[in-house]
A and B are shown apart, each in its own frame.
Chain A
């Protein structure tokens, strides 16, 4: 079976869960005998470049960086296509506009910036004046790609709303079935104050698709209830997690106190406020705990002010945005990991924490809660329960040991091979239905 996939960046150039998920998924698909032609946006910033850049399998190494050595299997099964575009994951129309305005103001021929999530945007005259225009332009190029590769694929798979128009265009040109993958909905990102343009694109993509893959049942329900997609077309396939053995030395601990960590973007969606309130409650009972908030985001200053007001700033630390090795180091230095997300379609961070032998507390409002048994689950708003769980894991070694050990076993059993097998079945269903 052959799939034309509209995906996002690969490690080491990743902005978050999306790139990681694409990477794990394509590996899993390759193992399941699926050939993947992987299309991704890649901003060149160079005026003369062709719109489409076919990357040879032999060049893939540079795309992968040095993440691992056993990638031969995937190279055989995959080919890469770069479309020259400045789209990056997690972009919102407002962000794009802000940066585009800056580009116009500076009047430079080419302008680059990094935003709070440390993604690189490149602007120049050839890219769309706003995000929607750029998405439409991307779709036109995608249609050309589908035409050029006609007969080389059986199904189209598009990740995240920014590529949905590309998926629809490819489907119209080729007549092949379309599968769209919902990694997050607009309701997860913005609560009830949704961006209606984003919502409209998400909805159009899902209604045009033959199958919709949701990363959890939580997301599946949102899709059915709020986007009106027929339930029989929506399938939940939980993400898995893939670990490379880095064999790094464990970092030396600086502090003797127990360390409780929050790691993620400091935004409304991630519920940083609840973590702070729980921290204050725990510190009242046992002072020998330190709380760390790793990451950055639009709510960071608000959270810092709240921490200062609660008078716990000497026990509550901020690291700013962490990358690469520092993320691993942070997990390894932690004794408890908390993910208090208000709304989390899946949530890969707790799995990474469990992999580092760290017991985790996750909100019931996260997709990952559906696949984990050895994690403490609380409602994100239930600060008392969260504080209680933190206190228990910090003070009762038997409890934290149990969660750490069983959690590690559990997380290792979540394999992309199994998730990819499910995705393959979704492809088969879509193809069969299409051929009827």
Chain B
């Protein structure tokens, strides 16, 4: 029986405030509280709350036949706790149904996998601890930031004890192969790889409300037909959770579509499963080789959206230069800043590739240009560097006086 695997990504970054040179050394509050709060509450109102309650209803109606997976970043959970605790409660309610699987990822939606094994492990451990504390969950499957994947990353994830990892069904990696089967990682063959069916995923996430699309309007029955027509054993539908109500507004009918979809798919003889269930139920058909890093972003499906120009490379090098110092401080306050500074969105704002993907890049972007984003990030980072140095000095002198 064909399996549909829904996975939704839930993430919000901590946005930095306008931080000038004159603030360096004096002002250690880096966040734009007003913007962060306003955006979080808007998305909670338009997306998280209505969609969570819809999913809860669908799960109950279908008595366990409808199953989905989520990944929630550490930074978004921090923001739920501060600005929208009711969203956190509704997620707990969903998880309590037993039909929802939570995946593990990097705590701050960071690019740590591209920095070093040590940085990556730290981020994964932090996320595991958060899942345990907030939801009482021990995750078995992993998704890396923006589905960034390579054989090397697969090896690290396998070593950390995960059984499954998600990746993009990128054409340049798959070649003639289909994403609609379960694969095994080349570097660790006990690790299952689920590949996103980007055509069917993007039909919902990007094209749903596009009136210029020849398949517009998309109905649940038509979509169910496409899924059941697809050759292969699984269809992996991976997308941002903000698709529902935010990227596709409620007025587009996206909620009605999702309301009708489970029934339509079940009627078409397709079943639902979470990420780990999907990986366990199907035999891997082949090994997937991915020597170069890929992601689910942009036309190129590579990492140039985050590390594609000199500005991004410089900011990335400078933040990870600090790692040993921050680690040796063992301070929650410093770790908090260290975490939100690693978030990939900061690097995304510095991207200079604006052509076909400009719309997505500019979504929720607080900066006028990539250069502004860079200057602001580096100013904040400079102050953080000074604070770290000061704290290290203080620690040293405390040790001496002991």
A residues at B contact (CB < 8 Å) = 251-256, 290, 292, 300-301, 304-305, 307-309, 311, 313-315, 317-320, 326, 329, 333
Complex alpha-carbon distance, A290 and B20, angstroms: 14
Additional pairs, 10, CB under 8 Å, beyond known A253-B25, A308-B314, A317-B375 = A254-B26, A255-B24, A300-B371, A308-B313, A309-B310, A313-B315, A313-B318, A314-B318, A314-B382, A317-B378
Cβ of A313 and Cβ of B374 under 8 Å apart? yes
The minimal Cβ–Cβ distance linking B384 to chain A, given in whole angstroms, is 10
Tell whether, in the assembled complex, residue B311 and residue A317 are in contact, meaning their CB atoms are under 8 Å apart: no
CB pair A314 B378 closer than 8 Å? yes
Whether a CB of chain A sits under 8 angstroms from the CB of B386 is yes
A263 smallest CB distance to B (angstroms): 12
Pair A254/B317 contact, Cβ less than 8 Å: no
Contact A304 B23 (CB under 8 A): no
Interface size, chain B (Cβ < 8 Å): 26
Whether A317 pairs with B24 at a CB distance below 8 angstroms is yes
Does chain A have a CB within 8 A of B227? no
B311 & A305 in contact (Cβ 8 Å cutoff): yes
Q: Which of B369-385 contact A (CB under 8 A)?
A: 369, 371, 374-375, 378-379, 381-382, 385
Q: Is the CB of B379 within 8 A of A311?
A: no
Cα A308 to Cα B24 with chains together (Å): 19
Whether B22 pairs with A254 at a CB distance below 8 angstroms is yes
Give the top 4 A-B pairs by smallest Cβ distance, nearest first. Answer: A254-B25, A308-B314, A254-B26, A308-B310
Distance between Cα atoms of A305 and B308 in the complex (Å)? 12
Residue in A308, A313, A318 whose CB lies within 8 Å of B21: A318
Q: What are the residues of chain B within 8 A of A252 when measuring CB–CB?
A: 26
Provide the bound-state CA to CA distance between A253 and B386, in Å.
Answer: 14
**For residue B314, which residues in chain A have a CB less than 8 angstroms away from its CB?**
307-309, 311, 313
Q: Is the CB of B311 within 8 A of A311?
A: no
Residue of A nearest to B20 (CB): A319
* Contact status A317-B374, CB under 8 Å: no
CA A320 – CA B309 in complex, angstroms?
Answer: 21
B372 closest partner in A (C-beta): A320
Q: Are B379 and A317 in contact (CB under 8 A)?
A: yes
Enumerate chain B residues within 8 angstroms of A304, measured Cβ to Cβ: 311, 371, 374-375
Bound-state CA distance A239–B333 (Å) is 54
Residue numbers in B under 8 Å from A251 (CB-CB): 22
Question: CA of A210 to CA of B313 in the docked complex: distance in angstroms?
Answer: 59
Task: Enumerate chain A residues within 8 angstroms of B318, measured Cβ to Cβ.
Answer: 311, 313-314
CB distance from A97 to the nearest CB of B (A): 24
The residue in B27, B311, B314 that gathers the most chain A C-beta atoms within 10 A of its C-beta is: B314
Q: Give the distance to chain A from B275, nearest Cβ to Cβ, in Å.
A: 38
CA distance A176 to B314 in the complex (A): 62
Contact status A317-B317, CB under 8 Å: no
Interface residues of B (CB under 8 A from A): 20-27, 309-311, 313-315, 317-318, 369, 371, 374-375, 378-379, 381-382, 385-386
Contacts of A319 in B (CB 8 A): 20-22
A311 contact from B24, B25, B317, B386, Cβ within 8 A: B317
Cβ distance B320 to chain A, nearest Cβ, rounded Å: 12
A–B Cβ pairs within 8 angstroms, 6 of them:
A252-B26, A253-B25, A304-B375, A308-B374, A313-B314, A319-B20
Known: A311-B314, A313-B315, A314-B381. A329 touches B374 (CB 8 A): no
Q: Which residues of chain B have C-beta atoms less than 8 A from A300's C-beta?
A: 371
Give Cα A319–Cα B375 distance, bound, in whole angstroms.
8
Least CB distance, B52 to chain A, in whole angstroms = 41
CB neighbours (8 Å) of A255 from chain B are: 24-25, 386
- Residue of A whose beta carbon sits closest to that of B379: A317
A332 to B371, CA, bound (A): 26
A residues in contact with B381, CB < 8 Å: 314
Are B311 and A292 in contact, CB atoms less than 8 angstroms apart? no
Contact B375 A292 (CB under 8 A): no
Take A304-B371, A304-B375 as given contacts and tell me if A317 and B21 are in contact as well, using a CB distance cutoff of 8 Å.
Answer: yes
Residue of A nearest to B315 (CB): A313
A307 to chain B, nearest CB (A): 8
Contacts of B310 in A (CB 8 A): 305, 308-309
Which residue from chain A places its CB closest to the CB of B314 in the assembled complex?
A: A308
Most buried by A among B23, B27, B311: B311
User: Within the assembled complex, what's the spacing in Å between the Cα atoms of A251 and B314?
Assistant: 31
The CA of A301 and the CA of B310, in the complex, are separated in Å by: 12
CA of A290 to CA of B25 in the docked complex: distance in angstroms? Answer: 12
User: With a CB–CB cut-off of 8 A, which chain B residues contact A311?
Assistant: 314, 317-318
The 8 Å CB contact of A292, one of B21, B26, B313, B369, is B21
Q: Which of B27, B375, B386 has the most CB of A within 10 A?
A: B375
Cα–Cα, bound, A329→B23 (Å): 12
A305 contacts which chain B residues (CB < 8 A)?
309-311
Measured in the bound complex, the distance between the Cα atoms of B369 and A320 in whole Å is 13
A305 to B311, CA, bound (A): 6
Q: How far is the CA of A307 from the CA of B314 in the complex (A)?
A: 9
Give B321's nearest chain A residue, CB to CB: A314
Chain A positions within 8 Å of B311 at CB level: 304-305, 308, 313
Residue numbers in A under 8 Å from B20 (CB-CB): 319-320
State how many angstroms separate the Cβ of A424 from the closest Cβ of chain B.
Answer: 43
Chain A's closest residue to B26 (CB) is A254
Question: In the complex, A307 Cα to B318 Cα: how many Å?
Answer: 13
Complex CA–CA separation, A209 to B188 (angstroms): 85
Closest to B350 in A: A308
Within the complex, the shortest CB–CB distance from B171 to chain A, in Å, comes to 32
Closest B residue to A329 by beta carbon equals B22
Report B-chain residues with C-beta under 8 Å of the C-beta of A254: 22-27
Contacts of A256 in B (CB 8 A): 25
Task: State the CA gap A349–B27 with chains docked (Å).
Answer: 29
- Report the minimum CB–CB distance from A173 to chain B (whole Å): 48
* Min distance, Cβ B29 to any Cβ of chain A, angstroms: 14
B385 touches A314 (CB 8 A): yes
Complex Cα distance, B381 from A96, in Å, reads: 39
> Which residues from chain B contact A318 at a C-beta distance below 8 Å?
21, 375
Q: How far is the CA of A314 from the CA of B24 in the complex (A)?
A: 11
B-side contacts of A313, CB under 8 Å: 311, 314-315, 318, 374, 378
Complex CA–CA separation, A317 to B315 (angstroms)? 13
Give the residue name and chain of the B residue nearest to A255 (CB): B25
Task: Give the shortest distance, in Å, between A114 (CB) and chain B (any CB).
Answer: 14
Bound complex: CA A317 to CA B375 (Å)? 7
Q: How many whole Å from A197's CB to the nearest CB in chain B?
A: 32
| Chain A residues closer than 8 Å to B27, beta-carbon distance | 254
Shortest C-beta distance, A322 to chain B (Å), equals 10
Nearest-Cβ distance from residue A35 to partner chain B, whole angstroms:
44
Chain B nearest CB from A301 CB (Å) reads 5
Which residue on B lies nearest to A319, using beta carbons? B21
B379 to chain A, nearest CB (A): 6
Nearest CB to that of B376 among chain A residues? A318
List residues of chain B with CB within 8 A of the CB of A314. 318, 378, 381-382, 385
- In this complex, what residue of B is CB-closest to A259? B21
Interface centre among A251, A311, A314, A333 (most CB of B within 10 A): A314
B318 → chain A, closest Cβ, in Å?
A: 5
Residues of A within 8 A of B25 (CB): 253-256
Assembled-state Cα–Cα distance A236/B398 (Å): 64
Bound CA–CA A253/B20 (angstroms): 14
B313 contact set on A, CB distance < 8 A = 308
Chain B residues with CB under 8 A of A329? 22
**Cα distance A318–B382 in the bound complex, in angstroms:** 12
Chain A residue at minimum C-beta to C-beta distance from B311: A308
A132 to B313, CA, bound (A): 46
Q: In the complex, what distance in Å separates the CA atom of A252 from the CA atom of B26?
A: 9
Smallest CB separation, B57 vs chain A (Å)? 50
Q: Please indicate which of the listed interface residues A253, A307, A311, A318 has the most CB atoms of chain B within 10 Å of its own CB.
A: A318
